[in-house]
Structure 1
Amino acid sequence: MLFGSMPFGMRRAARLALTAAALASAPASAQPPEAISDGLRCVYEKLTANRGYEVVAEVFLYDTVPENQVGQAASILDLATQSCAKQYKWSVSRVFSAADVGLYGATIDYLIQKIAAAGVASTAVEAFDTVVSSMSHADYESFGEQDWRSDLAFTRRLRALARDAGLPDEEAVMDMALDALELGARIDYSVALFVLDLAEGSPIPETV
């Protein structure tokens, strides 16, 4: 579920079109030090400082959450993002990228916890978490397809990654695993956008 009222939940199509070619040949971003020092992880760290991130993750993932929870999630993400934007004086594009990094990272944490709560061995959970972290923006194009879950070859590959990490081939677990893998690719893409913005030296707006 996308945040209809949340200003920082999605990348604008024009921004994606302008940067796609530059990112296509770029290596996995891996959160370089210069990006971390410019606050790349700030929104994520604020979201996960307490259990409020669970509210944000549930609204992002599920269509059945109560309407009041949608507003609560929007407020939590907005407050975290605005606080970080003021602290680091981000450009507008950097605000979008860092907010997505925070949103996707917090949602991955939520999914990993749910997978662990399903009785999966801790060693398998840790191995799968590493797999999620290894997803790159090279995978982003495949996930960008409107109905990528209907691509049987692609989903078989994803399920194999999850099984190889030790996750059981149970539908509920695999559904969460596929969501986490998608977010792993999306977070790497957002990191790459943030890094590209740093490299371009985007001007800092007077107000954020």
Structure 2
Amino acid sequence: MGTNERINNYDTPAWFYDPLSALVFWGAQRRAQNAFIHLVPPGSKVLIAGGGTGKILEELVRIHPGTLSVTYVEKSGKMLSKARKRDHGDHQVQFVHAGIEDFAPTEPFDCLFTAFLFDNFTGGNARAIFSHLDGMLNQGGCWLYTDFRINRASPVFHKLLLKMMYVLFRWLCRVEATWLPDMNFLFSEAGYRQQGEKKFYGAFIVARLLVKPAGKN
């Protein structure tokens, strides 16, 4: 595995990532990424970018009534192996072992899922990956975005927890970032309309449903 493949790669914690998340966040990460699944139109072509161990696939089966065409992109081979074993019901799922920055689809998608993806990237790389993903989404398509959130009003505990997480995952996964990128600015700059927002874990985690403007390539 080359140097680039080791950066932001969650192979090492794959076996304990889900139990650790449940212990620290009491299921808030899972609830946040599932917050707007029910609003995905039936029959949609869906991209899940950085889906981890694939619990979201089981939630799609449980929550979503229609059949979806899902492309599941994950950089960690061990995470992807776990995802392949999940029940995905009648949904058509294509698994892709790649970093999202290296993924090049042949057709655009109707909906994007990015749960705890952008917190791995520095500001410049986050912008590049945002632009890359934006180019994959159809006009009027939906973007289900979930990630950590820090602002001036955030309690000190949340700021300290975020720093501790970056120290841990920089050591385990060679995460390149040391702080959260300004995703609000990127979505606003690109003209996305926010259709819904839910906060979890004392507003440390936020889930948003955003829609790509018509007339934007």
Q: Same fold (TM over 0.5)?
A: no
The TM-score with structure 2 as length reference comes to 0.26
- More helix as a share of residues: 1
The TM-score with structure 1 as length reference comes to 0.27
Q: Which structure exhibits the higher relative contact order, with contacts defined as CA atoms closer than 8 Å and separated by 6 or more residues?
A: 1
- More strand as a share of residues: 2
